Amino acid sequence: MTAGDGSLPAGSDPIATPAVPQAGLLNIANVLTVVRLLLVPFFLWLLFTDGTWWRIAALVVFGVASFTDRVDGQLARSRNLVTDFGKIADPIADKALTGSALVGLSLLGDLWWWVTIVILVREIGITLLRFVVIRYGVIAASRGGKLKTMLQVFAIGFYVMPGPIDLLRWVTMGAAVIVTVVTGLDYVLKAWRLWVDGRAGRTADGR
């Protein structure tokens, strides 16, 4: 039979699984990511307001914003809502939240500036690296990256939390810094491999 009488084109697979369409840009996972970004200035306002109860309120907002990171990722994977926007916007939202918290805590004198600088240099550097190699592919968040984010969230939370818990703060922030540096080096290696493979593919195509 021919294509004109309703048959399949020659060489096609009649039982092939149809391609799953990519989720639309406006979905619950992406909405939660945007909400996390919008909570950042509200958190900072609470953080810089004097008073124990304001600190507790800042901790609650930070916790809610951080929780949306876990929820939007689970929803994106379980409901097939993964989009290129989400792959890029999600880590940016994470960095906006943690970065603003680190800078705010350092400005208040609660956290050493060298810790903030080390973490921010890694986070900003990796984000820029993602955009540099995006023409060759997207580097999705790894398990190590998720562990890094979790440690940073807990460490920052302990620093925001009022009370005499200095030892707990130092231990968790120290672990966060170590994992942050190690995973940063891992991302650099992945980006290098992606760039090399992409350049090799373009050369093979004669471009």
Q: Using CA atoms, how far apart are residues 103 and 116, in angstroms rounded to an integer?
A: 6
Tens of pLDDT, residues 28-78: 777 888 889 999 999 999 999 999 999 999 999 999 998 887 776 667 666
Map out the domains of the chain with their CATH numbers.
28-198 (1.20.120.1760)
**pLDDT at position 192:** 83
Q: Which two tokens stand for residue 70?
A: 């876990």
Half-sphere exposure of 60 (CA within 13 A, CB side): 7
Yes or no: say if 114 and 180 are a contact pair by the CB < 8 Å rule. no
**pLDDT at position 76:** 63
**pLDDT at position 19:** 46
Contacts of 124 (CB under 8 A, 6+ apart): 95, 99
pTM, full prediction = 0.75
User: Distance between terminal CA atoms of the chain?
Assistant: 40
What does each of the 207 residues of the chain score in pLDDT, given as a tens digit?
A: 444 444 445 444 444 444 445 566 677 777 888 889 999 999 999 999 999 999 999 999 999 998 887 776 667 666 676 666 766 777 788 888 999 999 999 999 999 999 999 999 998 888 788 777 777 666 666 678 788 888 999 999 999 999 999 999 999 999 999 999 999 998 888 888 877 776 666 555 555
**pLDDT at position 201:** 61
| 52-83: burial string, b at 16+ Cβ within 10 Å, e else | eeebebbbebbeebbebbeebbebbeeeebbb
